[in-house]
Every structure is written in structure tokens, then in C-alpha cells.
């Protein structure tokens, strides 16, 4: 790490730090934050000419305390006439963000699209934002280590910046703290940061937040991440050879859609993943035996995250290879038939209420008996439910109590898709496609938010080299009870 000064127009920027382990593009992003000059407009004079984004600092001879010269014009806001129409670019940044109807994009700091796409998907969860605000106000708990605390605060700060900024954000602080907490995201090859697996970033970030927010949670909701994303399983493990049988329970944050030549749809892949074989020691046989594990969902979350298991380790090439097979997924997902009998009974009344509400909209009379099929869409009620499907005192996005208690129905609506384009998890490009509160979809390709049509979102199902769904996030449809 060296410190330099930068002369730009009439300003002298003092004590600007350069991390020589990172490419010059990261330094340009720092200058963008300080001056408003976008990286592509910056002309910085160094030994041998202009500073290139991918140059090697060790060959440039930049020394401690050196003064660098930068040329380039900052983003300008055009002033409107005193009495005339007000254009979006004339508004303050916070008002620009509101007018745009979506959050800002994120600059790619050098193969960080995996991180950017993960952040954009999780940023779309208002209840997570509320939990982070509460954490930032309550202060660090003694139960949380410093690196987890710093990453949680950095997540809150980045979410806040995305909401308020009318232009792309450089997630420098978040990236630095993420690499400190999880050094694998700082791996380098030929002086460049390597591409990483977005699912690993998603999993590690949620794990950290679950530890931090649990310690700061209220007595009513001690585990915010579990209530938002936690999926409870109950499993029957039996050995046909010995007749042994046992039951297990576990909680995870993600459902797995296993892909084989038999799987053409998400629902088939989810069913496939609920049954598996494992080899373990049999006490009665005194040797290893094959056991069959059959699982059912016993508790549902507010947000259902599904990973398409597209990558596997290929020994010949010594890398994660990709399954390109097309697997369709719906805008509306019903997981009732994947649930345990216990949970199905709890879901029956809310599901009937869901049908009745929609029936009223269509001018139909409510039926007295519950049907397990043909669920139809209704407007989503405000509030949330706990992971077991029991009624809960739900809260609004601002954190205040709602007027009615709500229950889950087992029906979910697609709100975010994280896609991968390329042949390997450690290469290619990740993009986030996120549904806004207005109902419109935005494609977040790093710093470039692009409006998309809803009918095009389900076309990201694979079958070629185009963007294909790697992680889907669904939001629960709830009803007041």
C-alpha cells in the first residue's frame, strides 16, 4: 500500500492510497468517488504514458508520496431554466433514485460480477434491509467476531448507498471487508483477481448475516435470516437390507434443483433432490450398507432460494464444469406437494383463503371445502410468516407491526434470478435480474441497469451459452388470517 497525491484541475487530492495488489481500475474507482470523473474518462499520467486499467503496478515505478496528474471531466448535472420542466438529471441523487424506480448499479472492480449480482438480489429484500438498519443502530454484540460485524455493517452501508444513489456505486469497502472475512474471494492469478462462484458468495454472506443478526435480534424474532430464508427439513433414513430406520431434521437456506437427463422442469429437479442414497455403517449388520434418505419440507420461509446444481468437478480439466441442459422454471411456484403431512395440514386453511380471495375478484362464491389443486393468483398481502407456516406478528418493510397476522400458503412468486453465462463457475459472467416494487424487472449487468419484460425472465432457462438461471429467489404469497 502506497500513498500518493493526485492533481486534478485546480484541486490537489492528498493522501490517496493505492493498493498495489489490486488492478489500477480499482484506483480509478477510488478517484471516481473523490472527483465524480468516471473511470473511462480518467487520463492519469504515469511512467510510459497513460495508466491502463489492467497495468501492473510493479512496472510503473509509482513511489510513496508521488504526485500524479489526472485529466477528465466529472459527470455534470445540467441546470434547468428558472421556470421550466424539471428533468431527472436536475434532481438530487436521492430523488433521482426514487424517480428511476430502481436501485443503482455496481461497478465491476475486476471479476466481481459474482459479488455484484449476489448483492443486487439480496438488496431486493426489504425485510433484510430493516434487519440491517436495526443492527446498525443497536451496535456490535460481544457474541459477534469483528470481521463478521464489519461485513454486516458494510452490507448495510452498501444497501443504503444503492437506495440513495442516482448513479453507479463502487462497492470498494464491501469488497475489501468480504475478502478479509473470506480470503478465498481474494485469490489472484497473473496479478488479477479471479472470478468466483456466486453461489458460494451468496451462502457465505447469508451465513455471516445470520450470525450477526441473530445476536442483535429481538426476543420475538431472534433469528432474522432463518425466518426470511430458512427451510426446515424432516427426513426418513432407512436401510432396506437391515430394516433399520431413523428420522433426521435439519435447516438450510437453499433448496437444490438437481439436474439430470430426466429433469426438464424446476419442480422435477426439486423432487429429485428430496431422495438420495448414502453409504454408512450399519450397527445391526456390522458393516457398511446402503441407506435411502427421503426428505420433506417441514417449515417454509418468507423467501425461498433455489440453486440449480449446474456445476460439477471435472477431473480431466481440473475445474468446475457446467451442465448446460435447459430446465424451465415458473413465475409462480407451488411447493405444497414437497411438504410433510404436518405442514400440509397447516397450509390447507390459508390456501383455501387464497382461493376464496381470488374467487371474489373473479365474481365467484367462496367454497367451503379446501382443494389441494388449482391454486390461483391473488394480490400479495402485506406482512410475513415464520418458518413453520404458523401465524406470526408480521412487520412491514419499515419495521412497524402490521394490522393483521398472516400465514404462508406454499405458493411463491419469482422476484429475482441470478444468471451465469459461460462454461465454468470460475469464469464467464454473472448478472442479476430483479423484480421491482412497481412490478417491473431490471437486469443488473454490473453498473448498467436495463429494464426487461417479465415474459423474457423465464427464458433464462439454459440450453446454450446464453445467460441461464443459477439461483432463483421466490417470495411467499401470504394471506391475513
Average pLDDT over residues 52-76: 86
DSSP 139-201: ---TTS-HHHHHHHHHHHHHHHHHHH-SS-B--HHHHHHHHHH-GGGG-EETTEEPP--HHHH
Give me the phi and psi of 350, to 5 degrees please. Answer: -60, -35
Average pLDDT over residues 43-52: 85
Instruction: Return the pLDDT at 209.
Output: 95
Helix (H) or strand (E) holding 204: helix 198-216
Instruction: Return the pLDDT at 160.
Output: 95
| Cα separation, 138 vs 48, whole angstroms | 51
Helix (H) or strand (E) holding 210: helix 198-216
Instruction: Return the pLDDT at 87.
Output: 54
User: What is the pLDDT confidence band of residue 222, given thresholds at 50, 70 and 90?
Assistant: low
- Answer yes or no: CATH 3.10.20.90 is held by domain 2-71: yes
| Cα separation, 25 vs 22, whole angstroms | 8
Cell numbers 412490478: residue: 439
Grid cell locating 456: 423474457
Q: Cα torsion at 298, 229, 380, 163 (round to 10°)?
A: 180
Q: Is residue 145 over pLDDT 50?
A: yes
Instruction: Return the pLDDT at 381.
Output: 38
**Structural domain boundaries in the chain:** 2-71
Q: What pLDDT, in 10s, does the model give residues 102-122?
A: 789 999 998 999 999 999 999
User: What is the pLDDT confidence band of residue 434, given thresholds at 50, 70 and 90?
Assistant: very high
Is the distance from CB of 335 to CB of 410 less than 8 angstroms? yes
Is the distance from CB of 27 to CB of 39 less than 8 angstroms? no
CA atoms within 13 A on the CB side of 128: 27
Q: What pLDDT, in 10s, does the model give residues 161-190?
A: 999 988 999 999 999 999 999 999 999 888
Show which residues are catalytic: 113, 429
CA angle 343, 345, 347 (to 5 degrees): 70
Give me the phi and psi of 358, to 5 degrees please. Answer: -70, -35
Instruction: Return the pLDDT at 221.
Output: 55
Q: What pLDDT, in 10s, does the model give residues 276-311?
A: 888 988 898 989 999 999 999 999 999 999 999 988
More confidently predicted of 249 and 54: 249
Instruction: Return the pLDDT at 401.
Output: 37
Q: What is the DSSP letter of 368?
A: S
| Cα separation, 392 vs 478, whole angstroms | 11
Quick one: which of 406, 416, 292 has its CA closest to 354? Answer: 406
Terminal Cα distance for the chain, rounded:
59
Q: How many CB atoms sit inside 10 A of residue 359's CB?
A: 15
Instruction: Return the pLDDT at 366.
Output: 57
Pairing of strands 231-238, 287-299: antiparallel
Q: How many CB atoms sit inside 10 A of residue 147's CB?
A: 14
Mean pLDDT in the chain?
84
Paired with 311 in beta bridges are 322
User: What is the pLDDT confidence band of residue 138, given thresholds at 50, 70 and 90?
Assistant: confident
Instruction: Return the pLDDT at 363.
Output: 73
Is the distance from CB of 172 to CB of 109 less than 8 angstroms? yes
Instruction: Return the pLDDT at 393.
Output: 41
Q: What pLDDT, in 10s, does the model give residues 342-384?
A: 999 999 999 999 999 888 877 766 555 444 444 433 434 334 4
For residue 140, what are the CA distances in angstroms to 148, 149, 174?
10, 7, 17
Q: What pLDDT, in 10s, does the model give residues 381-429?
A: 334 444 444 444 444 444 433 435 889 999 999 999 999 998 776 678 9
Cell numbers 404458523: residue: 390
| Cα separation, 464 vs 450, whole angstroms | 22
Instruction: Return the pLDDT at 102.
Output: 79
User: What is the pLDDT confidence band of residue 431, given thresholds at 50, 70 and 90?
Assistant: very high
Helix (H) or strand (E) holding 31: helix 24-35
| Cα separation, 192 vs 111, whole angstroms | 8
For residue 353, what are the CA distances in angstroms to 357, 378, 379?
6, 10, 12
Instruction: Return the pLDDT at 217.
Output: 52
Q: How many residues does the chain have?
A: 481
Q: Is residue 99 over pLDDT 70?
A: no
- Give the CA diameter of the chain: 89
CA angle 102, 105, 110 (to 5 degrees): 165
Amino acid at each position: 500500500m502506497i500513498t500518493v497525491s493526485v492533481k486534478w484541475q485546480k484541486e490537489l487530492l492528498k493522501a490517496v492510497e493505492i493498493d498495489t495488489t489490486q488492478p489500477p481500475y480499482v484506483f480509478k474507482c477510488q478517484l471516481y468517488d473523490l472527483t465524480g470523473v468516471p473511470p473511462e474518462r480518467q487520463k492519469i499520467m504515469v511512467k510510459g504514458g497513460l495508466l491502463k486499467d489492467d497495468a501492473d503496478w510493479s512496472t510503473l515505478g509509482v513511489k510513496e508520496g508521488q504526485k500524479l496528474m489526472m485529466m477528465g471531466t466529472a459527470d455534470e448535472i445540467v441546470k434547468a431554466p428558472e421556470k421550466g420542466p424539471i428533468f431527472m438529471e436536475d434532481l438530487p441523487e436521492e430523488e433521482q433514485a426514487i424517480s428511476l424506480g430502481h436501485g443503482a448499479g455496481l461497478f465491476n472492480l475486476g471479476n466481481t460480477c459474482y459479488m455484484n449480482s449476489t448483492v443486487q438480489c439480496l438488496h431486493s429484500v426489504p425485510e433484510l434491509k430493516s434487519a440491517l438498519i436495526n443492527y446498525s443502530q443497536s451496535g456490535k454484540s460481544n457474541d459477534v467476531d469483528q470481521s463478521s460485524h464489519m461485513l454486516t455493517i458494510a452490507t448495510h452501508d452498501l444497501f443504503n448507498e444503492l437506495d440513495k444513489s442516482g448513479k453507479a456505486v463502487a462497492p470498494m469497502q464491501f469488497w475489501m471487508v468480504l475478502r478479509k472475512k473470506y480470503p478465498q474471494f481474494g485469490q489472484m492469478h497473473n496479478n488479477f483477481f479471479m472470478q468466483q462462484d456466486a453461489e458460494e458468495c451468496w451462502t457465505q454472506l447469508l451465513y455471516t448475516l445470520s450470525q450477526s443478526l441473530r445476536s442483535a435480534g429481538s426476543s420475538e424474532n431472534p433469528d432474522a435470516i432463518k425466518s426470511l430464508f430458512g427451510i426446515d427439513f424432516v427426513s426418513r433414513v432407512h436401510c432396506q437390507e437391515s430394516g433399520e430406520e431413523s428420522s433426521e431434521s435439519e435447516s438450510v437456506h437453499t433448496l437444490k434443483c438437481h439436474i439430470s437427463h430426466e429433469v426438464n422442469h424446476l419442480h422435477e429437479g426439486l423432487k429429485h433432490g428430496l431422495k438420495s442414497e448414502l453409504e454408512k455403517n450399519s450397527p445391526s449388520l456390522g458393516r457398511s450398507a446402503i441407506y435411502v434418505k427421503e426428505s420433506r419440507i417441514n417449515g417454509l420461509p418468507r423467501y425461498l432460494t433455489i440453486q440449480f446444481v449446474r456445476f460439477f468437478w471435472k477431473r480431466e480439466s481440473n475445474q468446475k464444469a457446467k451442465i448446460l441442459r435447459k430446465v424451465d422454471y415458473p413465475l409462480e411456484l407451488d411447493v405444497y406437494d414437497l411438504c410433510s403431512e404436518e405442514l400440509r395440514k397447516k397450509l390447507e386453511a390459508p390456501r383455501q383463503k387464497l382461493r376464496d380471495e381470488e374467487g371474489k375478484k373473479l365474481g365467484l362464491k367462496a367454497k367451503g371445502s379446501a382443494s389441494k389443486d388449482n391454486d390461483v393468483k391473488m394480490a400479495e398481502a402485506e406482512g410475513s410468516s415464520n418458518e413453520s407456516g404458523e401465524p406470526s406478528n408480521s412487520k412491514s418493510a419499515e419495521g412497524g407491526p402490521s394490522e393483521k397476522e398472516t400465514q404462508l400458503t406454499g405458493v411463491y412468486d419469482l422476484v429475482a434470478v441470478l444468471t451465469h453465462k459461460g462454461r465454468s463457475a470460475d469464469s464467464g459472467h454473472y448478472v442479476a435480474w430483479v423484480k421491482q416494487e412497481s412490478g417491473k424487472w431490471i437486469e443488473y449487468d454490473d453498473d448498467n441497469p436495463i429494464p426487461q419484460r417479465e415474459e423474457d425472465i423465464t427464458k433464462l432457462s439454459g440450453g446454450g451459452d446464453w445467460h441461464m438461471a443459477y439461483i432463483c429467489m421466490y417470495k411467499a404469497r401470504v394471506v391475513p388470517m
